[in-house]
Amino acid sequence: MNSLHMVQHEVPLGWYLLLSAVLFCLGIVGFLIKRNLITVFMSIELMLNAVNLSFVTFAHQWHQVRGQIFVFFVMMVAAAEAAVGLAIIIAVFRARATLAVDRIDLMKL
Amino acid sequence: MNGPLLFLPLIPLVPFVGFLLNGLLGRRLPKAVVSTIALVAPLISFLIVLHAVFLVSTGSVALPVIEHGAPTWISVGTLHADFGSVLDPLSLVMLLVVTGVGFLIHVYSVGYMHEEEGYWRYFAYLNLFLFFMTVLVQAGNALLMFVGWEGVGLASYLLIGFWFQKTSAADAGKKAFIVNRIGDFGFLIGLFLLLANFGTLTLNEIVAKLAANPTMTGGVLTAIALCLLVGAIGKSAQLPLYVWLPDAMEGPTPVSALIHAATMVTAGVYMIARTHFIFDRSPFALSVVAIVGAATALFAATIGLVQTDIKRVLAYSTVSQLGYMFLGCGVAAYSAAIFHLMTHAFFKALLFLAAGSVIHALGGEQDMRKMGGLRTKIPVTYWTMTIAVFAISGFPPLAAFFSKDAILYAAFTSGSLGKILWFVGLVTAALTAFYMFRLWYLTFWGESREDAAHPHESPWSMRGPLVILAVLSVCGGWIGAGRFGAFLAPAVGSRTAEAAGSQVEIFLTVLAVVVALLGWLIADRMYRQRPESPAQLAAAMPTGYKLLANKYYVDEIYGFTIVKPLLVISRYLLGWVVDVGILGGLAWLLAGIASLGGAILQRWQSGNLRSYAAWLALGAAVLLYFVLAPHVFEAAGLHLGMAGH
């Protein structure tokens, strides 16, 4: 009860969720409109972290540690994804000499 | 199992390990290692069998040994099949022949195949064959026996087509496999009938059920027996399915000796003896067995008279001798049949190996018209071959004298049909002596007609097995049909109708020897004293000679009546109408629908990463909306201002 009490006095939970939603939407927008592959990639990371924030918030609210544990999983996957994704980006850059997303359209029929 | 250990499961497993080692690694191993693996495997099996023989003869193991508690193989509904093996007098004799002769032929192969490209492949197949053959022999239930049965067919196919670059060898392999399939089909139907009527495929359970039901005769048992007989006919190359065996001579000669003379082709005889309790209840099926056997014996012997390829003569001789064994089974003299099976394994393997030695000496020549005068050049081969020729012709005291007489005597004493069967057998004996001595004279006597390089005697790895088999061909019959029959009696039963008296038996024996002598004298006259006479005889009777030389045109008749129509049906009806028309049409229809759908949907696939991402986001948003719409606004309203309750 005490911790909830403290939170209540500092920042309400809803604000955290709102921040998470805002960050997520920023990520989506960045993902959709940016042309540079690295920026697109960073947008994905942004979305992941937005979700992490909401996980932590809910975990706090429901007094359950599961949500926080899950965050570690997400971070781990994100790290692996970053390694693979950056490798792919480097390979793409070597092959095409560009990082513009709309120029990388080999799969087009 | 109680009592001393017999290591029965190891008998097939050791050659299987040999097969795996040589088959998987043989390509990279040196020849010496390959041969060692290939020789040690059958040797271990043979020693295990000898060990079992020793235990049986000292009385520490009582036959039959039926292995209980073996690993379960199939257990579905009422069908229960395990890997259990059975050791009774019948399988013991057969195992001795298979592993013993098998080992000798392995040794011989080391010399014979030394220069071959696929040395390791050859020995892998040979070990595989021994694995399946011992499985077949030991199997305690008919289903496991069928596995061995199919497996030896596979090994036979692989080895006939060993020189697969040669079209004729590849074709011969296919022919053997396909013709055997026809027989296997019969065997399989027989198994289904057994299962349907007895609810089990374990042999001793069937025996027990039959014994509990002594009035059950004919009818369904005849059907089962005839189906099994079809299988035996295919495997043992009897009329009308014998056509694959002469062609199987395309394989390496040791293979012909092991698989197509000594062991695999006798599996049919073994199977009939193994399931004799069914045949015994069906006199009709038994007479069919006897007639098929006698007819085949005579038929194949006549073809053998005029063949010029040394291995083909032996092939037809094998078919003919297998006919004898069927004849023996058909008059319910199973022990005589198995006795002949054993002696035949000795002298026929010897004949083939000696023929292989001749072929080896002449650098691959198989045509007897190009041989001659070899008796001083390859003396060991000559003497061992001589023993085999005398043995197969039935001269005392060599092996076939005892076993062939046992069959002929059993035939003679088995009712009215028996006299005819006996007479056919007697004529066949004369023909056998004639063509064997013809082969002998053409190969070893007279002037040399070959134009190849100087003939040379084979290495010791080949001569050794020849000598051992020659000794066995001499002594193999000395056990005597009586004692042999008494030994086998617990497994195959003994015929009760042996009351014709010893004078008849002596008379028949003398007659058989006289007939064989006659065959020899005619051959001697035609091929030694007057070598020009065979050609004159052929010229005098062109029709008869052509008929025999072309093997009664059986291959042509089969080709015209069965193979051609099948091909036409396959190519036009099944190939064009069913395959291309119906199945192909369906496939095209499905493909058409798919590609039409694809043509429409491909517009969607722009190849642009951002458009994919947009679709993804849109999809996720729509999903979220439908899932969360009822809650989302409410929850937001609750929590934004006042967290907690």
Q: Please say if the pLDDT value at position B102 is more than 90.
A: yes
Report the SS3 class of residue B393: helix
**Cβ separation B613–A109 shorter than 8 A:** no
Report the SS3 class of residue B458: coil
Nearest to B336 by CA among B501, B130, B492, B157: B492
Q: How confident is the model over A45-58, as a mean pLDDT?
A: 93
Q: How confident is the model over B555-582, as a mean pLDDT?
A: 90
Report the DSSP beta bridge partners of residue B141: B202
- The pLDDT value recorded for residue B445 is 83
Task: Name every residue whose Cβ is closer than 8 Å to that of residue A91 and which is 6 or more positions away in sequence.
Answer: none
**Cβ separation A32–B605 shorter than 8 A:** no
CA B302 centroid distance within chain: 23
Q: How confident is the model over B473-496, as a mean pLDDT?
A: 80
Nearest to B610 among A8, A102, A109 (CB): A102
Contact residues, chain B, for A18 at CB < 8 Å: 640
CA distance B594 to chain A (A): 17
Number of H helices, E strands in chain A: 4, 0
Do B490 and B414 meet the contact criterion of CB atoms below 8 Å apart? no
Question: Phi/psi at B103 (nearest 5 deg)?
Answer: -65, -45
- Name the token pair of B64: 């039959």
Task: Name every residue whose Cβ is closer than 8 Å to that of residue B5 and which is 6 or more positions away in sequence.
Answer: none
Which amino acid, B136?
L
CA distance B619 to chain A (A): 13
Contact residues, chain A, for B617 at CB < 8 Å: 28, 31-32
CA atoms of A66 and A62, how far apart (whole Å): 10
| Residue whose token pair is 């027990």 | B208
Lowest mean pLDDT among A20-24, B445-449, B611-615: B445-449
**Cβ separation A12–B617 shorter than 8 A:** no
Q: How confident is the model over B556-570, as a mean pLDDT?
A: 90
The mean pLDDT value of chain B amounts to 87
Nearest to B608 among A13, A40, A102 (CB): A102
- The pLDDT value recorded for residue A78 is 93
| Residue whose token pair is 């199997």 | B139
User: Crossing angle of helices B89-112/B460-475, nearest 10°?
Assistant: 150
- Name the token pair of B95: 């195992």
- The pLDDT value recorded for residue B145 is 93
CA B612 centroid distance within chain: 64
**Cβ separation A18–B607 shorter than 8 A:** no
Contact residues, chain B, for A5 at CB < 8 Å: none
Q: Please tell me which residue of chain B has the smallest CA distance to A40.
A: B610
Decide if A6 touches B, using CB distance below 8 A: no
Q: Please say if the pLDDT value at position B350 is more than 80.
A: yes
CA atoms of A96 and A102, how far apart (whole Å): 12
Decide if A49 touches B, using CB distance below 8 A: no
- The pLDDT value recorded for residue B1 is 45
**Cβ separation A107–B607 shorter than 8 A:** yes
- Name the token pair of B449: 């007609």
Q: Is B394 left (phi over 0), alpha (psi -120 to 50) or beta?
A: left
Q: How confident is the model over B376-402, as a mean pLDDT?
A: 89
CA atoms of B349 and B152, how far apart (whole Å): 17
Q: Assess whether the previous peptide bond of B214 is cis (omega < 30° from 0).
A: no
Residue B446 CB: number of other CB atoms within 10 A? 16
Contact residues, chain B, for A8 at CB < 8 Å: 643-644
CA atoms of B318 and B316, how far apart (whole Å): 5
* DSSP secondary structure letter of residue A100: B
Q: Assess whether the previous peptide bond of B252 is cis (omega < 30° from 0).
A: no
Q: Please say if the pLDDT value at position B40 is more than 70.
A: yes
Taking every pair of Cα atoms in chain B, the longest distance, rounded to a whole number of angstroms, is 127
CA atoms of B151 and B164, how far apart (whole Å): 19
pLDDT confidence of B527, banded at 50, 70, 90? confident
Q: How confident is the model over B157-171, as a mean pLDDT?
A: 92
Q: Please say if the pLDDT value at position B643 is more than 50.
A: no
Q: Please tell me which residue of chain A has the smallest CA distance to B598.
A: A109
A6 or B415, which is more confident: B415
Q: Please tell me which residue of chain A has the smallest CA distance to B614.
A: A32
Q: CA separation (Å) from B497 to B32, B222, B281?
A: 55, 22, 16
Q: Which residues of A81-105 are buried (b: 16+ CB within 10 A; e: fewer)?
A: eeeebeeebeebeeeeeebebeebe
Lowest mean pLDDT among B306-315, B330-339, B371-380, B617-626: B371-380
CA distance B629 to chain A (A): 16
Do B234 and B287 meet the contact criterion of CB atoms below 8 Å apart? no
Nearest to A28 among B617, B639, B640 (CB): B617
B-interface mutation test, from A3, A35, A101, most B Cβ less than 10 A away: A101
Report the DSSP beta bridge partners of residue B86: B66
Exposed/middle/buried for A109, CB within 10 Å: 0-12, 13-18, 19+?
exposed
Share of chain B above pLDDT 90, in %: 48
pLDDT confidence of A76, banded at 50, 70, 90? very high
Report the SS3 class of residue A98: coil
Question: Phi/psi at A64 (nearest 5 deg)?
Answer: -125, 135
Nearest to B232 by CA among B107, B119, B327: B327
- The pLDDT value recorded for residue A5 is 54
- Name the token pair of B439: 């082969």
Q: Please say if the pLDDT value at position A1 is more than 50.
A: no
Nearest to A109 among B605, B636, B639 (CB): B605
Report the SS3 class of residue B139: strand
Nearest to A4 among B610, B636, B644 (CB): B644
Q: Which of A95-104, B536-545, B590-599, B606-615 has the highest mean pLDDT?
A: B590-599
- The pLDDT value recorded for residue B103 is 94
* A-to-B residue pairs, Cβ atoms closer than 8 angstroms: 51
Q: How confident is the model over B444-463, as a mean pLDDT?
A: 77
B-interface mutation test, from A9, A40, A103, A105, most B Cβ less than 10 A away: A105
Residue B523 CB: number of other CB atoms within 10 A? 24
Q: Please say if the pLDDT value at position B458 is more than 90.
A: no
Helix-, strand-, coil-residue percentages of chain A, each rounded to 5: 80, 0, 15
- The pLDDT value recorded for residue B632 is 63
CA B554 centroid distance within chain: 21
CA B422 centroid distance within chain: 27
Question: Phi/psi at B72 (nearest 5 deg)?
Answer: -75, 140
Contact residues, chain B, for A4 at CB < 8 Å: 644
Report the SS3 class of residue B430: helix
Lowest mean pLDDT among A40-44, A102-106, B503-507: A102-106
Q: Please say if the pLDDT value at position A7 is more than 60.
A: no
pLDDT tens-digit series, residues B60-75: 887 788 877 788 888 8
CA B277-B283-B289 angle, 5° bins: 85
**Cβ separation A109–B607 shorter than 8 A:** yes
Q: Please say if the pLDDT value at position A25 is more than 70.
A: yes
CA atoms of A13 and B357, how far apart (whole Å): 97
Q: How confident is the model over B295-307, as a mean pLDDT?
A: 92
pLDDT confidence of A9, banded at 50, 70, 90? low
Do B262 and B103 meet the contact criterion of CB atoms below 8 Å apart? no
Q: How confident is the model over B349-375, as a mean pLDDT?
A: 87
- The pLDDT value recorded for residue B642 is 45
CA atoms of B159 and B155, how far apart (whole Å): 6
Q: Is B558 left (phi over 0), alpha (psi -120 to 50) or beta?
A: alpha
Do B491 and B66 meet the contact criterion of CB atoms below 8 Å apart? no
Residue window 610-639, chain B: list those with CB within 8 Å of chain A.
610, 613-614, 617, 636, 639
CA atoms of B132 and B267, how far apart (whole Å): 11
Q: Please tell me which residue of chain B has the smallest CA distance to A15.
A: B640
**Cβ separation B613–A12 shorter than 8 A:** no
CA atoms of B345 and B351, how far apart (whole Å): 10
Nearest to B149 by CA among B331, B275, B257: B275
Residue window 587-606, chain B: list those with CB within 8 Å of chain A.
602, 605-606
Do B226 and B272 meet the contact criterion of CB atoms below 8 Å apart? no
**Cβ separation B605–A107 shorter than 8 A:** yes
**Cβ separation A109–B608 shorter than 8 A:** no
**Cβ separation A101–B610 shorter than 8 A:** yes
CA atoms of B248 and B159, how far apart (whole Å): 9
Q: How confident is the model over B620-629, as a mean pLDDT?
A: 86
Q: How confident is the model over B242-256, as a mean pLDDT?
A: 91
- The pLDDT value recorded for residue B72 is 87
pLDDT confidence of B12, banded at 50, 70, 90? very high
CA atoms of B99 and B184, how far apart (whole Å): 24
Do B365 and B442 meet the contact criterion of CB atoms below 8 Å apart? no
Q: How confident is the model over B137-163, as a mean pLDDT?
A: 92
**Cβ separation B643–A61 shorter than 8 A:** yes
CA atoms of B123 and B114, how far apart (whole Å): 11
Contact residues, chain A, for B606 at CB < 8 Å: 105, 108
CA distance A76 to chain B (A): 23
Q: CA separation (Å) from B101 to B17, B43, B96, B249, B259?
A: 20, 10, 8, 19, 10
Q: How confident is the model over B536-544, as a mean pLDDT?
A: 84
Which amino acid, B324?
Y
Contact residues, chain B, for A21 at CB < 8 Å: none
Q: Please say if the pLDDT value at position B50 is more than 90.
A: yes
Sign of CA dihedral B636, B638, B640, B643: negative
H or E element that contains B86: strand B86-87
- Name the token pair of B446: 């007279």
A-interface mutation test, from B602, B605, B610, most A Cβ less than 10 A away: B610
pLDDT confidence of A96, banded at 50, 70, 90? confident
Sign of CA dihedral B269, B272, B276, B279: negative
Report the DSSP beta bridge partners of residue B79: B76
Decide if A32 touches B, using CB distance below 8 A: yes
| Residue whose token pair is 């050659």 | B15
Q: How confident is the model over B240-248, as a mean pLDDT?
A: 91
**Cβ separation B643–A101 shorter than 8 A:** no
- The pLDDT value recorded for residue A73 is 94
Q: Please tell me which residue of chain A has the smallest CA distance to B618.
A: A28
- The pLDDT value recorded for residue A2 is 52
Contact residues, chain B, for A32 at CB < 8 Å: 610, 613-614, 617
CA atoms of B172 and B182, how far apart (whole Å): 16
